[in-house]
Amino acid sequence: MRDDMIARKFDKLEKYVFLTVIAISLLPVLTNTFLPTMDGAAHLYNSNLINALLFENNPQIHEFFVLNQEPVPNWIGHFILAVFNLFLPSFVAEKILVLFYLIAFPLSFRALLKTIHPENYVVFSYLIFPFSYSFLFLLGFYNFSIALLLLFITLNYWIKNEDHLFSKKNIFVLFLLTTLTYFSHIFIFGLLLFFIGVHIVTKAVMTLVDNYPLQVKEAGKSVLKKSGIVLLSAFVPLLLLLNYFLSRDTPGNANFLEYSELIKWLKEIRPIIVYDFVFEATYTKKIFYVLMAMTVVSLYLQITGRFFSRGNPSPSAKGKIVLSNFWLILALSMLLFYFVLPDSDGTAGFVSVRLGLLFFIVLIIWLSTQRLPKWFTILGVLVVLYCNLRLTVYYSSVIRDLDNVAVECYEMSEKIAPNSVVLPLNYSDNWLAPHFSNYLGVDKPMVILENYECATGYFPVKWNEAKIPATLLGTTPPEQYSCLEWKSNAQSSLKKPIDYVFILGDIDSGTDSCTASIKENLEQNYSLISKTENCQLFKRKT
């Protein structure tokens, strides 16, 4: 009785510890206005455009932009931002999305571990924290990050209910989860189906190991029935996936990374290095060594327990060994894909980083199914949490500096009249800042002529190619500048001069003849109306 009371008190205390670690991880977001990322400003701007296209009769916006009629992935993050941006400032909408992810990501991972191995989930769930602020998340890949969250939730639901999937309710829930995953990110959707497929086969093998040859037919039937449920539940997103690939051209040249580079990335855990390779690798390498030490000890204990223990494992024990190693099979699959698949193919990018991230996450799930010495596990977790704390503090300082620039851009929009056409010029030396100009339009309707999402065809907003006019810098079209390009339709009879020119960084750092020509144009046709430490805004002379 007393032991039960102590255990309950420990469980309650441990939950508060876990929540405290989550709270600490939120500080970089809570202590700044924006979470400045490479693509985050573009997501906010296009979410504002979605609302303008849907709910406002705004000829200028409709002239340049149109909603993508194809049900493409990458909708979920934009949808959430657009909904909250209807009645909240953009920076609050972003905070809601980002905080939701940073809270739900570790909690959903912890819930998955609890389902898989209730005895080990408490300690091993702390290992996920360094992977919350991944390289991809801090690049602004919000849809991919949400898809990872949905991957945990869907796998958890599948494992809990796989033997009771034949009700309409369960099929509907699976349909909803797989569809949401598709509309979050196509890559994770494909991996979700792959994971579930491997799990179905693994459970069948476990059944055969436990009861061979009595359960051969039952195992076969189970595989067919469960596969049928998956196909039925994912039928709609699978059709959308087929349409997505059939409606696109063959990808371009594949770009493969050197094996030496890929191995180096694994040792450094490149998927969680963002701003400074040297500083961050000091801590990410320690995390790598902890995970590898746990892996080696787990394999050693498993091999010696299976092959050198007295007697043979019982049938049931053999089945459990097979099922626990399902996660090892997935981790090795991610590692194989990591070395075999190209890093990019002309359309998809950062493939190696995505697969590396998934490898480490799945490896942690597998480790949670192993019986490691408690002292060894706790020591490893403490090292990982220390490294995570140091990285979080460092992220806070970098994000604070980036936020200062983002706020400057955002506040510059007060000087811009609604529905204006703005040409951004990026002279910043910060590699994360190419889309910071989009902060101008996150809360005000305007046409910003730098919008990478509109050109891809796999985001919710596209350029309205049929109506875009010829946009001119003063009286000069973009074709006359070798160092500059912006969205314009040279064939259009409608000429529209650019209303404002926004400069991020120091234009005087450009000493080439093209930049000199731009400066001359600005001097002749535009007036400087606002200047801050990092930004300048010019307005067309009337």
pLDDT at 322: 62
361: which 2 tokens? 């996450």
Rg (CA), the chain: 26
Cβ atoms 125, 105 nearer than 8 A? no
Task: Determine whether 542 is exposed, middle or buried from the number of CB atoms within 10 Å of its CB (0-12, 13-18, 19+).
Answer: exposed
What's the one-letter identity of residue 447? V
Q: Examine the domain organization and report whether 335 and 427 are in the same domain.
A: no
Q: Examine the domain organization and report whether 409 and 396 are in the same domain.
A: no
**Where a domain ends, among 381, 400, 419?**
400
User: Cβ neighbours of residue 307 under 8 Å, at least 6 residues apart?
Assistant: none
The pLDDT tens digits along the chain (542 residues) read: 555 566 567 677 889 999 999 999 999 999 999 999 999 999 999 999 999 999 998 999 999 999 999 998 899 999 999 999 999 999 999 999 999 999 999 999 999 999 998 888 999 999 999 999 999 999 999 999 999 999 999 999 999 998 777 788 889 999 999 999 999 999 999 999 999 999 888 887 777 765 655 566 777 777 888 888 899 999 999 999 998 888 877 766 788 999 999 999 999 999 999 999 999 999 999 999 999 999 999 999 888 875 554 455 554 555 566 666 889 999 999 999 999 999 987 677 899 999 999 999 999 999 999 989 999 999 999 999 999 999 999 999 999 999 999 999 999 999 999 999 999 999 999 999 999 999 999 999 999 999 999 988 889 999 999 999 999 999 999 999 888 889 999 888 899 999 999 999 999 887 889 999 999 999 999 999 999 999 999 999 98
- Provide the residue range defining the domain that includes 337: 2-400
Cβ atoms 421, 498 nearer than 8 A? yes
**Where a domain ends, among 350, 382, 400?**
400
Q: Examine the domain organization and report whether 244 and 365 are in the same domain.
A: yes
**Where a domain ends, among 352, 373, 400?**
400
Q: Examine the domain organization and report whether 330 and 457 are in the same domain.
A: no
Cβ atoms 30, 131 nearer than 8 A? no
Q: Examine the domain organization and report whether 20 and 149 are in the same domain.
A: yes
Strands (DSSP E) along 428-525, which ranges?
A: 447-448, 461-463, 470-472, 495-497, 500-505
pLDDT at 211: 62
What is the spatial distance between Cα 5 and Cα 22, in angstroms, rounded to a whole number? 26
Q: Examine the domain organization and report whether 234 and 379 are in the same domain.
A: yes
What is the spatial distance between Cα 329 and Cα 363, in angstroms, rounded to a whole number? 9
6, 13, 15, 119, 151 from 2: Cα distances, Å? 6, 17, 20, 20, 39
- At residue 203, what are phi and psi to the nearest 5 degrees? -65, -35
137: which 2 tokens? 């998340």
Q: Examine the domain organization and report whether 334 and 473 are in the same domain.
A: no
What is the spatial distance between Cα 365 and Cα 124, in angstroms, rounded to a whole number? 8
Q: Examine the domain organization and report whether 379 and 479 are in the same domain.
A: no
CB atoms < 10 A from the CB of 139, how many?
18
* Dihedral angle sign, alpha carbons of residues 87, 71, 68, 436: positive
Work out how many domains the chain is built from and give that number: 2
> Which of 85, 80, 86 minimizes the C-alpha distance to 100?
80
β-bridge partners, 54: none
pLDDT at 246: 83
**Which helix (H) or strand (E) segment is 385 a member of?**
helix 374-412
Q: Examine the domain organization and report whether 394 and 418 are in the same domain.
A: no
* Dihedral angle sign, alpha carbons of residues 188, 193, 198, 200: positive
Cβ atoms 59, 164 nearer than 8 A? no
pLDDT at 34: 96
375: which 2 tokens? 């002292």
Q: Examine the domain organization and report whether 96 and 115 are in the same domain.
A: yes
| Half-sphere exposure of residue 141: CA atoms within 13 angstroms, side-chain side | 24
pLDDT at 366: 95
Cβ atoms 78, 462 nearer than 8 A? no
Cα 407 from chain centre: 23
| Half-sphere exposure of residue 359: CA atoms within 13 angstroms, side-chain side | 27
User: Cβ neighbours of residue 95 under 8 Å, at least 6 residues apart?
Assistant: 29, 30, 35
Q: Examine the domain organization and report whether 254 and 336 are in the same domain.
A: yes
What is the spatial distance between Cα 111 and Cα 155, in angstroms, rounded to a whole number? 10
Q: Examine the domain organization and report whether 374 and 444 are in the same domain.
A: no
